[in-house]
């Protein structure tokens, strides 16, 4: 029996998850599905201009796995652009990097993913209030796990 795939770490959730060619009715378009981790691979390599080793480290996967994810994403984007298809970004096998927090007094801060735990900090580093919320991005699609893997965002077990 093969081992289950490892979740890929994602630090950014796109605000827009659907793109289509202008002037073409949606009902006649074919669609390409880009997973959240494929979008993250493109973001890290092509927008942040990081080396593949750095990208793989940030996504918590091996460099060869990162290369496969990136190639798949680029192939899908090229197909959509050159064939006039829509792109839907959703789903995949990933975990959200919980890094941004806010206290109820309005202070915001980030903690490097490697330092975070499964729960928010106990106190705000600026005012010591215990009223902390995670600035968790909204998640669209399936296959999303919290860092601890105990809960699916938006779904109760």
Question: pLDDT tens, 2-50?
Answer: 877 778 989 888 889 999 999 999 999 999 999 999 999 999 999 999 9
* Residue 4 or 157, more confident: 4
Higher pLDDT, 123 or 86: 86
Of the candidates 143, 113, 145, the one whose C-alpha atom is nearest the C-alpha of residue 35 is 143
Q: What's the rounded Cα separation, in Å, for the pair 10 and 139?
A: 11
- Count of helix runs (H) and strand runs (E) in the chain: 3, 9
Confidence of residue 73 (pLDDT cuts 50, 70, 90): very high
Q: What is the pLDDT of residue 100?
A: 78
Contact between 46 and 40 (Cβ < 8 Å): no
The structure's pTM equals: 0.68
Give the pLDDT score at 76: 98
Q: At CA 14, angle to CA 9 and CA 20, rounded to 5?
A: 130
* pLDDT mean across residues, the chain: 82
Q: Is the pLDDT confidence value at 88 over 90? A: yes
The predicted pLDDT at position 91 comes to 92
Pick one of 1.20.1050, 1.10.3470, 1.10.10, 3.30.70 as the CATH number of 8-94. 1.10.10
Question: Do residues 95 and 7 make contact, with C-beta atoms less than 8 angstroms apart?
Answer: yes
CATH 1.10.10 domain span(s) along the chain: 8-94
- Of 151 and 63, the structure prediction assigns the larger pLDDT to 63
């Amino acid at each position: 029996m093969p081992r289950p795939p490892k979740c890929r770490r994602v630090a950014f959730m796109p605000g827009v998850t659907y793109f289509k060619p202008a002037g073409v009715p949606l009902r006649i378009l074919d669609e390409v599905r880009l997973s959240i981790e494929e979008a993250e691979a493109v973001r890290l390599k092509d927008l942040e201009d990081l080396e593949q080793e750095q990208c793989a480290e940030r996504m918590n996967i091996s460099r060869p796995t990162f290369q496969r994810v990136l190639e798949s994403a680029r192939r899908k984007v090229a197909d959509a652009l050159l064939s006039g298809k829509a792109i839907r970004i959703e789903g995949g096998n990933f975990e959200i990097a919980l890094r941004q927090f806010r206290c109820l007094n309005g202070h915001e801060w980030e903690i490097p993913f490697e330092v975070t735990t499964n729960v928010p900090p106990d106190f705000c580093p600026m005012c010591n209030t215990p009223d902390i919320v995670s600035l968790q991005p909204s998640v669209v699609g399936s296959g999303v796990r919290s860092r601890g893997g105990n809960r699916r965002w938006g779904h109760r077990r």
